[in-house]
A and B are shown apart, each in its own frame.
Chain A
């Protein structure tokens, strides 16, 4: 979810759910946790009279993703981690 939002900039709930191939309930729980951790923000708006939640990655969330990727790359042999 965090990586998808890093690429998208902003995405609605349905797009995040479909991208991560999960259910409404699952996606909702994870997004709430990310919001509680300060990694994403959510804004609600009406589009064609339907409520829509738009999620954005925060700077903290982006930092967390980069830190995680750095940890993963540190596990790789030296040549691979440079690619």
Chain B
């Protein structure tokens, strides 16, 4: 009897600890901002290439990436309040996504500079990387539903290979980033 109650109490405490850990992770607006910015970048590129927007894709993407990183840096200005204690898993998760962001930004900038982006390899590459990031995040943040988001990114990766050379890959990529990056970001922000 007493040990049953003790087991139940320990299980409750573990569940509350996990819940707290899940709460602490992945709450920032970065996913929403990046998802919408990159989605807008792809739609803008589509508009540029179809003659609806009198811009070149290169400067458009530089603007998109600059806005995203400025937002990231401004959000992390030192505040007057002392920083809360950060769990190692929260730090690991933030470093994972920061690393992903740096990798994709560098690849996009260099690829654009070399004129390689029109070959259509970047979209499947980025979708695969983001799928891996969500897959790892599902475990680090104790949010198993993120594995479904990862799977959706990998399906998107296959679809991007299929759409290779087709201009429809641009609105398709826009939809991917809005639905699978901004979307989960919004869900994470709104959850209790």
Contacts and interface: CB of A to CB of B under 8 A. Distances in A.
Do A and B belong to a common assembly? yes
B148 to A, nearest CB: 23
Q: Determine the main DSSP class of B at the interface with A.
A: helix
Contact of A3 (B3, B13, B90): B13
Contacts of A65: 13
B77 to A, nearest CB: 15
Interface residues of B, number: 25
9 contacts: A3-B12, A7-B22, A9-B84, A9-B85, A9-B86, A10-B84, A11-B20, A72-B13, A75-B6
A27 B152 CA distance: 39
Contacts of A10: 24, 84-85
B23 A8 contact: yes
A26 B84 CA distance: 25
B16 A3 contact: yes
B15 to A, nearest CB: 8
A7 B24 contact: yes
B85 A7 contact: no
Contacts of B85: 9-10, 56
